[in-house]
Amino acid sequence: MTTTAAVPTPQPTGRPLWRRLIGFNLLTAVALGVGGYYLGWFIGHQISAKSLAYQEKTSENDVALLVAYLFGVVGFLIGLGFANYPVSRLLGRPASLREKEEEGIGRYFGLCTDHKVVGMQYLIGIGLFFFIGGVNAMLIRTELLHSTPTFVGPGQYISLVGMHGTMMMGMMTSGILGPFANYFVPIMLGARRMAFPRIEALTFWLLMAAGFILTSTIFFGGFPTGWTGYEPLNDQAVMGMDSYIIFFALVGISMCLLGLNMMATIITMRAPGLTWSRLPIFVWSVLATAVLMVLAAPVLVATLTMAALDRTIDTSFFIPGGGGSSYLFENLFWFFGHPEVYILALPGFGIVLELLPVFTRKPLWGYRLAVSGMLGVTLLSFFVWQHHLFVSGINADLRPFYMLSTEIISIPTGFIFLCAMGTLWKARSSFSVPMLFCLAWVFNFLIGGLSGVFVSDTPSDTSTHGSFFTMAHFHYTIMGGLIFTFFAAIYYWVPKMTGLRFNERLAKLHFWLMFIAFNSTFLPLFAIGMMGQPRRVSQYAPNLHALNTWVSISAFVLGLSMLIFIANTVYSMIFVRLPVAMNPWRSKSIEWQIPTPVPVYNFEQVPVFDSDPYDYGTPIHVGGTRPEPAGA
């Protein structure tokens, strides 16, 4: 790599402590968020005063809660400083970033336009909500230790299921793009920042506000619809449903902006020489995901807006009594919902294909095939949504088309699989922890994909729809596909992000426990589903008790594996703090060629690329002097 375009050496700056405490930061944001919430609550009550009798009778006021949430979010963002820039632009001040970035740990608790800080914020923030979603899963499995409602009632059970599903499906949409794409895509492109750094920060803080709002649903009775929010149950539900609506709408806005920013960055900010055919495969997967985010998320936001209007001002989009139709919700929701599955899966594909060459010391097999597979999945994912409605009374003539389009999507997905297999073929692999997680993806996603054929096929879907079979299928694709690659990325890239390394022994223990417990949990669910146990119901036939007990115990072991991961993180990152080698995986990708931790400005000089990052095959010489960092 050669270099061009030298830039001036940046100088450290600082702000007085009092200024940092009372300025625009998380403290101010929480204060204004709470204030905004109560102001909105008051205004909402004034707006809806004419239906006061109804409110007093039912203790329900959807208008007040929705307005309170909106005001709360706006106050929160103002407190973080997001309103300063738009107001300054309104007055004609020129476009600029923040004058100076915050120093030290304080920058992680406020609006920061450094993509690396945002990446770290995402990692911690999403990890927190992933933990809450996981605790919900443990509670669900605790209830299913008994064949009749015991631990929680049926209403609380469905709320737990809804919280778990919504938290996981909503927050984890940015599970890989949030931390890892924000952190590494600009570096992989040879850029110093994202195209729109302020929007990048906004996507994170919107997501955090959304997560908090969803968690607050427990104070308003929860919601009974699961993560899909189906009508007419949506319209009939208590105020906890409003939390769901605002949560997913904020997630949709965050997703759309994140995708837009990623696409603009990848298209316009590539360093000289970084042609499309030299782009790291992870960046291609981010690009494909971003397309889905930009185009599918707006439909979700529009749908939830309609649902919110139905609940507040009595429009009738989804209310048959007023001329609406609940099938309209199903269609609109799944137009977003199925691409959403690929929003979760595609970054996982990218991680696996990015990491396999590193640990097999071989070039990526079928680079162009992998790219075409990702783009094929992106395109086709918009033409399959009605397979979710096979048993909901759709026109029978439509079923063959959607069955075929769904099954055709396995072809581009197969391309990805083929490229992974081709890269592994005759490789002398090293089985480091990230590699183990990638190999687990191969196993899990194969089962997820094969079981997908049964739910995409109309006749078999008729018997498996709404059962634990479907639940097992999507856990194999989403958890087996996304969460395993999420951990692969954590073990692979977090050492770069922090400069510290994980304890290898604990990491391997985490992997093996997680892999075995995951399969022990979800494989039996295929059988349980085929034997007729429905989703979202806490009561089941007594003859399924033994299998359910097995699954619950396995799920607890799966939870234990997560605790081992947390313990390893705390132990390695806080107590032991062993520094990581500059390039522990001996990767040829650019992020491993620059100093650790990555400097604020990424590169002293803009790098020039003259090849792709997968030219492995030459032996690595260990020892000797450290070469100049990329761009030096």
Partner 1 sequence: MASPSEGLPLGRTVPPVPAGVEIPPEPPDVGARALSVASRLLAGATTFFFLAFIFAYFYLRSINVEHLWRHGHIDPNQALGGAMIGCVVLSAILAIVSGRQMKAGSRSWPAPAAGAVVLGLAAVALQCIEYTRQHFGPTDGAYASVFCAWTALYLIAVLGTMYWLETQVATELRARREPAPTSGDIGRADELIAPALDATVFYWAFLAAIGVVTYVVLYLL
User: How many alpha carbons fall within 13 Å on the CB side of residue 546?
Assistant: 1
| Cβ atoms 120, 108 nearer than 8 A | yes
**Is residue 393 within the footprint of partner 1 (CB under 8 A)?**
no
**Is residue 66 within the footprint of partner 1 (CB under 8 A)?**
no
Residue 467 three-state SS: strand
Q: Which is nearer to partner 1, 136 or 331 (CB)?
A: 331
**Is residue 100 within the footprint of partner 1 (CB under 8 A)?**
yes
In the complex, minimum distance from the CB of residue 12 to partner 1, in angstroms, rounded to a whole number: 5
Q: Which is nearer to partner 1, 192 or 473 (CB)?
A: 192
In the complex, minimum distance from the CB of residue 75 to partner 1, in angstroms, rounded to a whole number: 19
Burial of 363: CB neighbours in 10 Å, binned 0-12, 13-18, 19+: middle
CA-wise closest residue to 193 among 631, 601, 593: 601
By CB under 8 A, the count of residues binding partner 1 is 105
Candidate residues 38, 52, 90, 168; the one interacting with partner 1 per rule CB under 8 A: 90
> How many Å apart are CA 285 and CA 281, to the nearest integer?
6
Burial of 23: CB neighbours in 10 Å, binned 0-12, 13-18, 19+: middle
> How many Å apart are CA 359 and CA 616, to the nearest integer?
10
In the complex, minimum distance from the CB of residue 169 to partner 1, in angstroms, rounded to a whole number: 19
**Is residue 573 within the footprint of partner 1 (CB under 8 A)?**
no
CA-wise closest residue to 490 among 473, 477, 502: 502
| Cβ atoms 359, 429 nearer than 8 A | yes
**Is residue 630 within the footprint of partner 1 (CB under 8 A)?**
yes
In the complex, minimum distance from the CB of residue 355 to partner 1, in angstroms, rounded to a whole number: 15
Residue 580: CB atoms within 10 A of its CB come to 16
Q: Which is nearer to partner 1, 16 or 623 (CB)?
A: 623
User: Where in 447-506 is the site for partner 1 (CB under 8 A)?
Assistant: 499
Beta bridge partners of 500: 579
Residue 500 three-state SS: strand
**Is residue 63 within the footprint of partner 1 (CB under 8 A)?**
no
**Is residue 286 within the footprint of partner 1 (CB under 8 A)?**
no
Q: Which is nearer to partner 1, 56 or 628 (CB)?
A: 628
Place of tokens 């609406």: 324
> How many Å apart are CA 555 and CA 455, to the nearest integer?
24
User: Where in 219-278 is the site for partner 1 (CB under 8 A)?
Assistant: 256, 260, 263-265, 267-269
In the stretch 600-629, what mask flags binding to partner 1 with x, by CB under 8 A?
Answer: xx-------xxxxx-x--x-xxxxxxxxxx
> How many Å apart are CA 416 and CA 431, to the nearest integer?
21
User: Where in 174-203 is the site for partner 1 (CB under 8 A)?
Assistant: 192-193, 195-196
Lookup: tokens for 550: 């097995």
In the complex, minimum distance from the CB of residue 1 to partner 1, in angstroms, rounded to a whole number: 4
**Is residue 394 within the footprint of partner 1 (CB under 8 A)?**
no
Q: Which is nearer to partner 1, 2 or 236 (CB)?
A: 2
Beta bridge partners of 3: 607
User: Where in 295-334 is the site for partner 1 (CB under 8 A)?
Assistant: 295-299, 301-303, 305-306, 309-310, 313-317, 320-325, 328, 331-332
| Cβ atoms 181, 118 nearer than 8 A | no
User: Where in 4-43 is the site for partner 1 (CB under 8 A)?
Assistant: 7-8, 10-14
Candidate residues 93, 219, 398, 543; the one interacting with partner 1 per rule CB under 8 A: 93
